[in-house]
Amino acid sequence: MRILITGGDGFCGWPTALYLSNKGHEVAILDNEIRREWDQELGIASLISIPTMEERVNEWQKHAPVPFRAYHVDMRDYDQLVNAISEFQPEAIVHFAEQRSAPYSMINREHAVFTQTNNIVGTLNLLYIMKEIVPDCHLIKLGTMGEYGTPNIDIEEGYLTIEYNGRTDTLPYPKQPPSMYHLSKVHDSHNIMFACKSWNLRATDLNQGVVYGVQTEETLMHPLLTNRFDYDDVFGTALNRFCVEAAADHALTVYGQGGQTRGFINIKDTVRCIEIAAMNPAKPGEFRVFNQFTEEFSVQDLANKVQSAANKLNIEAHIEHLPNPRVELEQHYYHAAHTKLVELGLKPHLLQEEDIMSFIQIAMANKDNIRLDKIMPSVSWR
């Protein structure tokens, strides 16, 4: 299958591209490398140094069993995007190419406006190009579990069947996104739903949980293929950040009470979920939603698990509760469905203590790169 991976230079996009390529799919990545500019803007860097996009692509081309290529394209530039898609003629487009950090979107007005316009315009451009050039192509869009917020009822996969005043309908699940970034994803979801209905496009929205882990089988095949590892307060996600904090003898920084419960997924399952979605496409006109996570943890659960794994490595890993920089409930009901990908064949890698120990060990091996001044929360929601 010809699969285009937008955002293919990123933390999820790169290992997904390599995994699908290694499985024999004809893969192209498309990226403007802007994620690397945000590192410079914020004075941060991946804990594991990564080569340029050109270098890692050149290296993978030595390993790939089938042709693999890269497009340097900004998705806000319609003409560039038209040219790439016209040339590659993808059968599936996996769309990761968005600003994906909630704190980054909350830095200030400029970052909020950038996040929303960048994400919305890129996705709108893609939808119009699919309609014009590849109308049968399957869009696989990365959403986030965060779109749902924390309602006091069960979270379903995209839709909710509601009985009300004696009548029934199945409607889009009501969303309560908790940041300018999460809002941009909700806007995308509405736009894509409309495009499927009006233009008969086919799309799968993958509401992904918080991703943890670093490497996959393919990113380990050569040092130049390594995945990035973010631990800073803006782009680092909770479990990865805790592991780096443990490695650096820094306290594990839990925001507020730590009762915030979320869905989590190993990067090794992310790449598999994408393949499952691609191999089982949505029907023409269908806007399908899968919740892409494998387990639920509270932030406190995670901190406890990291502390326990760290102790086995003779690290104390003190847990510290910080004032919460976010506006969110710290104790709440949370129960979210996530059966559709499993029904299609996902065999989850559930979080083991050995996984956490290996993440801490990766961090220890790169200890010289840890910038402790980039760990404490620098962006407030208020």
Cα 251 to Cα 274: distance, rounded to the nearest angstrom: 35
CB of 305 to a second copy, least distance (A): 28
Compute the half-sphere exposure of residue 174: CA atoms within 13 Å on the CB side of its CA: 8
* Nearer to a second copy among residue 109 and residue 347 (C-beta): 109
- Catalytic residue, candidates 141, 185, 305, 374: 185
CA dihedral 195, 196, 201, 202 (to 10 degrees): 130
Q: Residues in the site for a second copy, rule: CB under 8 A?
A: 78, 108-109, 112-113, 116-117, 120-121, 124-125, 128, 151-154, 160, 162-165, 167-169, 171-180, 183, 186-187, 190-191, 193-194, 197-199, 327, 333, 381-382
For residue 262, the cross-strand partners are 297
Q: Who's near 70: CB < 8 A, 6+ residues apart?
A: 8, 28, 29, 30, 31, 53, 54, 57
CB of 378 to a second copy, least distance (A): 17
Helix, strand, coil abundance in the chain, percent, nearest 5:
40, 20, 40
Cα 276 to Cα 270: distance, rounded to the nearest angstrom: 10
Within the chain, residue ranges assigned H as helices are: 13-22, 34-42, 53-63, 78-88, 102-105, 109-133, 180-199, 238-247, 267-279, 299-312, 340-343, 353-365
Angle at CA of residue 261, ends 39 and 11, nearest 5°: 25
* Nearer to a second copy among residue 167 and residue 347 (C-beta): 167
* Nearer to a second copy among residue 28 and residue 81 (C-beta): 81
CB of 169 to a second copy, least distance (A): 4
Quote the tokens at residue 379: 């962006």
* Nearer to a second copy among residue 48 and residue 107 (C-beta): 107
Question: CA separation (Å) from 305 to 216, 229, 269, 273?
Answer: 22, 19, 20, 25
CB of 8 to a second copy, least distance (A): 23
In contact, 179 and 106? CB cutoff 8 Å: yes
159 is catalytic: no
CB of 197 to a second copy, least distance (A): 6
164 is catalytic: no
Go through 25-35 and write b for each residue having 16 or more CB atoms within 10 A of its CB, e for each that does not.
bbbbbbbbebb
185 is catalytic: yes
* Nearer to a second copy among residue 49 and residue 194 (C-beta): 194
* Nearer to a second copy among residue 197 and residue 222 (C-beta): 197
- Catalytic residue, candidates 144, 204, 219, 237: 144
* Nearer to a second copy among residue 205 and residue 218 (C-beta): 205
CB of 144 to a second copy, least distance (A): 14
In contact, 350 and 301? CB cutoff 8 Å: no
CB of 289 to a second copy, least distance (A): 13
CB of 349 to a second copy, least distance (A): 29
* Nearer to a second copy among residue 133 and residue 364 (C-beta): 133
Q: 110 — alpha (psi -120 to 50), left (phi > 0) or beta? A: alpha
- Catalytic residue, candidates 173, 181, 212, 334: 181
Q: Who's near 208: CB < 8 A, 6+ residues apart?
A: 12, 142, 143, 144, 145, 265, 270, 273, 292, 293
Pairing state between β 202-208 and 287-292:
parallel
Q: What is the separation of C-alpha 216 from the centre of its chain, rounded to a whole number of angstroms? A: 15
- List the catalytic residues: 144, 181, 185
